[in-house]
Amino acid sequence: MDENATKQTPAEITDAVEKVETNEEVKEEVKETEVVENTPSMEDYEKEIDNTFVKITEGDIVEGKVLSVTDTELLVNIGYISDGIVTSEEIVHEQDASLKEIYNENDIIKAQVINLHDGEGNVLLSIKKAEQIIIWDELADAFKNNSTITVTVKEAVKGGLRCTIKGIRAFMPGSRISVNYVEDLKEYVGQELKVKVIDFDAESKNVVVSRKEIEKVELDKKRHELLENINKNDRLSGVVKRITNFGAFVDIGGIDGLVHINDLSWKRVKHPSEVVSVGDNVEVYVLDVNKEKERISLGLKNINDDPWLNVKQKYTEGNIYQGTVVRLISFGAFVMLEGGIEGLVHISEIADKRIEKPEDVLEIGDKVSVKLLGIDEKGKKIKLSIKEAKDEVNKEEFKKFNDDSDISTSLKDVFKGIMDNFKE
């Protein structure tokens, strides 16, 4: 390598050193400039602080966490530079209830901003106003979507019930309280009821609610479940809801079943009211179920109490029994025996003489002796005779008379012997 090519003069070396020093100074200036430019100003600090808190204005509804509870107010962290204050006047609650009984620390609440500066560095809030705004939105949504809400019954008035929903008034007509007739509306006062909004007008503050729709859904569910699980011969508890000439309707838990008049009692019944009354709690037996038509036939009388069971072991043909005339017809009379079975006395078996109609000789309620002529166990029929029973009685009396006559004759012989002794 040529040594003259790489060798530098003192002047050149001095120039090179100066250039390097100049470059280092430039770099330092650049660094200083960068530091100055990256240092935030006070304005930047204020913006940063503002960004850490929510921005609110009067009228906004905010969510916050309860920091403390006193007898008169709530202190709430709402994420703002200042905490929120809710006085007891701005809270919907019972007059006698303490705030400490309603709220706890860390509870989450929603409130409306009514004043950003109360003079003491706090934000004034109102839960009452927020709830009114929120509840009207909820009521509108419930009305639109046919959803369920909860009301508190405050008063029974003519025509229905006055209710409240978080401070909002609502009315429930008497016809909308229940699927059943409600006699005393006062029994609902103080209760919380699930209802549906059936009429709504936010501008006029008109809210009409109904509990009946809720009951219908519940009853439909119960009816479906009952029909799915009910079977013939089941024994169920029920309440008599309605009585007609042909039977009684019994509510067995969501669906009414019919107890026909013939299935109310083993005894003959003229009208269902002789056996049951509306409101009676009864035990019934399922006789038949039509799940497609949702019809259930019920019986009040117990199959095991059937007086026709083993009837031939209880009654013997040819024997005399006591009974009561329970029904008169053109061709005879029905007599109820003491065991609960009715038998027919044909008109020809009522009296020894010919009669035109049973009423000529008998009246309903008469106590009579009857002779059992025959039993049709399968057809559940018994033939009786008053005439032959009388004949049997007459025979017994005649026999007894003959026995008494023998006794009388013997006594005469005794008296005759005594008299003969006196003569001697």
Cβ atoms < 10 Å from Cβ of 27: 10
E strand or H helix that includes residue 384 = strand 381-385
> What domains can be seen in the chain, in order of their start residue?
61-131 (2.40.50.140), 146-215 (2.40.50.140), 232-303 (2.40.50.140), 311-391 (2.40.50.140)
Q: How far apart are CA 31 and CA 35, in angstroms?
A: 6
Q: What percent of the chain has pLDDT over 90?
A: 39
Q: Around Cβ 321, how many Cβ atoms within 10 Å? A: 20
Q: Lowest-pLDDT range, 101-115, 126-140, 249-263, 395-409?
A: 395-409
Q: What is the mean pLDDT of residues 96-112?
A: 88
236-245 confidence digits (pLDDT tens): 889 999 999 9
68 sits in which H/E element: strand 61-69
Mean per-residue pLDDT of the chain: 82
Question: From CA 175, how far away is CA 162, in angstroms rounded?
Answer: 14
What are the two backbone dihedrals, phi and then psi, of residue 327, each rounded to the nearest 5 degrees? Answer: -160, 140
Higher model confidence: residue 339 or residue 104? Answer: 104
Residues 6+ apart with CB under 8 A from 83: 67, 75, 76, 77, 122, 123
Residue 180 gets which letter from DSSP? Answer: S
Tell me: the pLDDT tens digits for 322-349? 999 988 999 999 998 887 788 999 999 9
Please choose, from the candidates 213, 221, 179, 222, the residue with its C-alpha nearest in 3D space to the C-alpha of residue 195: 213
Range from 8-22, 121-135, 274-288 carrying the lowest mean pLDDT:
8-22
pLDDT at 413: 60
Residue 88, Ramachandran bin (φ over 0: left; ψ between -120 and 50: alpha; else beta)? alpha
With a cut of 70, say whether residue 283 has pLDDT above it: yes
What per-residue confidence (pLDDT) applies to 76? 94
CB of 297 within 8 A of CB of 344?
no
CA dist 202 to 111, 128, 274, 313, 326, Å? 20, 17, 55, 78, 68
What's the pLDDT at 385? 93
Give the residue ranges of DSSP H helices in 230-351: 311-314
Positive or negative, the CA dihedral 250, 252, 257, 262 is: negative
Could you report the per-residue pLDDT of 234-275, keeping only the tens digit for each? 888 899 999 999 999 999 987 889 999 988 887 778 899 988
Residue from 130, 132, 113 nearest 122 by CA = 113
- 25-44 average pLDDT score: 56
Tell me the pLDDT tens digit for each residue of 177-204: 998 888 899 999 999 999 999 999 988 8
48 pLDDT above the threshold of 60? no
Rounded Cα gap, residues 414 and 105, in angstroms: 118
Q: Which residues contact 56 (CB under 8 A, 6 or more apart)?
A: 62, 78, 80, 113, 116, 123
pLDDT of residue 5: 47
Res 269: pLDDT: 82
- The per-residue b/e assignment along 182-194, b for 16 or more CB within 10 angstroms, e otherwise, is beebeebeeeebe
Read off the pLDDT of residues 364-386 as tens digits, 9 standing for 90 and up: 889 999 999 999 888 888 999 99
pLDDT-derived band at 107, boundaries 50, 70, 90:
very high
Q: What would the two tokens of residue 107 be?
A: 């509870």
Give the long-range contacts of residues 22-25, CB within 8 A, separation 24 or more: none
Q: What is the mean pLDDT of residues 101-117?
A: 91
For residue 221, give the 3-state DSSP assignment: helix
Beta bridge partners of 5: none
> What average pLDDT does this structure show over 148-164?
94
Cα–Cα nearest to 325, from 345, 308, 302, 306: 345
How many whole angstroms separate alpha carbon 163 and alpha carbon 195?
A: 11
Between 214 and 30, name the one with better pLDDT. Answer: 214
Cα gap 2→4, rounded to integer Å = 5
| 419, containing H or E segment | helix 386-423
Q: Which helix (H) or strand (E) holds 14?
A: helix 10-38
Question: At 117, is the pLDDT very low, low, confident or very high (cuts 50, 70, 90)?
Answer: confident
Query: Does residue 93 carry a pLDDT above 90?
Result: no
What are the start-end ranges of the E strands in 291-331? 295-299, 320-329
- Please say if the pLDDT value at position 3 is more than 50: no
What gap in Å lies between CA 139 and CA 208, rounded to an integer? 10
6 or 324, greater pLDDT: 324
Interacting residues of 215 by C-beta distance below 8 A, sequence separation 6+: 178, 179
pLDDT of res. 340: 78
Residue 406 has pLDDT above 70, yes or no: no
- Residue 146 confidence (pLDDT): 92
